[in-house]
Structure 1
């Protein structure tokens, strides 16, 4: 018999879902058969499929240790998935990574495998397997998940929650603007030393965000504050505080004041003249936007250094080493 103590991360789950996630090597029909035949009990009593588990419950599985170990592993689930992630902070509740430009956070219909979510889950899965082999504790069932997202070609901070309580708490804090977020953006032209862009936005056909001429039910208020960190020739680097968090907010806001992001084809910033020499064709034209700093309500500062490709582009645009230091000092 195998005994698994339900942790707080899995409290509130229905028993069939808990078993399904605990034993990914067992098909759903097998899980239902285990429940139907009494091979799963909670605190020594038989359970029903829809019963809800609570923290501290002991789930008994009537199966051999060797079968249990085999059933908890699903190596094919992450076969071929890259484990390459840049971890900038981790504790028992969250994992924070520096996302590279060009990588989706979530998969779309044509890109289900190489996404940031899959990389993080594969990375933690491998580590969990190693730790489990040397420990007596059973694995948690909660699947790590991002609490916010970035555009494919925006680099920088993405926070993943490790349990349901943290996911709910951080999502609420982000929605209520208790989490402060700053981005570094390369924009066309010389912007003022500082400014505020207070302009409502709305989504249009084609996944494009525009400044709303009139406020209506499709419009959402949006506020961005910026400081010019440096300027050279035809460009400036802005440190932008995203007070609200609308889709494509920074890109649409800077286009609206005549300073679209450098390389942002979708929002009027077309250029390919100064892309890094080793960049692929697909990387040569996209917005230069980096989620650099996040401050949590408890005061913790999460900082993501500029990617090499971003720094290379600034150097090619003419920014000096001293200006680069100014840009990265937040």
Structure 2
């Protein structure tokens, strides 16, 4: 496939065998709505091994998908001069460090001022790539690294790496409660049955497989700093999984991360915790195979200032109270 061809191609990973064709398309091409993908299947713009099949057709794994209707934008987009923090750049990919508060895609309540608008201003040619080259997402109030495809060939490669769990994403999270040790959460995630804004642990097939590995980096009196590595990339995955094991993220009011103060917390620490108004989550490291050369690309981003200040305050509180806590534990 050359980069001027508006088609995307993809081989179906073997781990998706037995799934419906429309479900597989939604998994491999998450930039498009299910209704749009279903329409393309019916119109013959989404082919399986060169053939038109029904949306309910069960795939075997290994088949070849050709999606030929991807050049048109689902939503007209206007370029906007929004500054980007670029950490890696060449003709095929960008890696940007997304700041807190920047919405990735336009949507209800956010028709403009998004990362997608910024990318179209930075590189107008991205109008030909699905979602201006964005292949994975971060929540508005999550900071950190995202990779952007600048060609259709790169987009196909990066989406395939995501689906085959070959792209490594590492996060730093500050969670509620003292955590004894690291571990893994293997629990499927799907739309919450009652609250459409939230995700939840939902059994398959309604829920999709989700695996998060975590390890303790630093313990505080009533909080823990953890490293999280994703095998899968479900919406709100770390937030849902940490809440599921009763260690919700600091500041994450959607999933139960209210304010928890250590005993005898100083007014300064109480103010720092109460003033942290977002989920304490940062995408700190991203590793993938370069879509053209195949060589490994690894990029890191330092934690943002608001998280750094809060962690410093918790560290000081733990240090200041260590002698008293040790004395009590010896009695």
1:10 correspondence with 2:4: yes
Does the C-alpha gap of structure 1 residues 141 and 314 become closer, same or farther in structure 2, counting only changes over 3 Å? closer
The alignment's TM-score, normalised by the length of structure 1, stands at 0.64
SS in 2 for 1:9: coil
Aligned to 1:312: 309
Q: Contact between 2:188 and 2:204, CA under 8 Å: does it hold in 1?
A: no
SS in 2 for 1:149: coil
Q: Give deviations 1:180-210, integer Å, cap 9, x for gaps.
A: 1111000011213321111222211322122
SS in 1 for 2:123: helix
Aligned mate of 1:145, from 133, 148, 160 = 133
Q: Contact between 2:126 and 2:150, CA under 8 Å: does it hold in 1?
A: no
Q: 1:229 & 1:284 partners in 2: Cα distance?
A: 20
Aligned to 2:64: none
Deviation of 1:272 (Å):
8.9
- Can you give the 5+ residue segments of structure 1 that lack an aligned partner in the other structure? 1-6, 14-51, 53-75, 126-138, 323-330
Q: 1:104 & 1:319 partners in 2: Cα distance?
A: 33
Aligned mate of 1:285, from 263, 277, 287 = 277
Correspondences of 1:35-114 after superposition (within 5 Å): 77-78=78-79, 81-114=80-113
SS in 2 for 1:310: helix
- Cα RMSD between the aligned structures? 2.9
- Can you give the 5+ residue segments of structure 2 that lack an aligned partner in the other structure? 8-67, 69-76, 262-268, 290-294, 320-331
Deviation of 1:86 (Å):
0.6
Instruction: Tell me which stretches of 4 or more aligned residues in structure 1 moved more than 4 Å.
Output: 272-277
SS in 2 for 1:186: strand
Q: Contact between 2:176 and 2:222, CA under 8 Å: does it hold in 1?
A: yes
Q: Contact between 2:126 and 2:133, CA under 8 Å: does it hold in 1?
A: no
Q: Give deviations 1:265-319, integer Å, cap 9, x for gaps.
A: 0011012985987x9x9x8422111111111134321212211222122123235
Correspondences of 1:188-203 after superposition (within 5 Å): 188-203=176-191
Aligned to 1:3: none
Aligned to 2:167: 179
Aligned mate of 2:296, from 270, 275, 299 = 299
Aligned mate of 1:210, from 195, 200, 206 = 200
1:157 correspondence with 2:145: yes
Deviation of 1:109 (Å):
2.7
Deviation of 1:77 (Å):
4.5
Greater Rg by CA? 1
Q: Contact between 2:88 and 2:299, CA under 8 Å: does it hold in 1?
A: yes
Residue-pair matches, total? 234
Q: 2:241 & 2:259 partners in 1: Cα distance?
A: 19
Q: Give deviations 1:220-245, integer Å, cap 9, x for gaps.
A: 22111111111112111110011111
Q: Give deviations 1:147-170, integer Å, cap 9, x for gaps.
A: 111111111111111111101110
Does the C-alpha gap of structure 1 residues 12 and 189 become closer, same or farther in structure 2, counting only changes over 3 Å? closer
Q: Contact between 2:240 and 2:255, CA under 8 Å: does it hold in 1?
A: yes
Q: 1:210 & 1:111 partners in 2: Cα distance?
A: 24
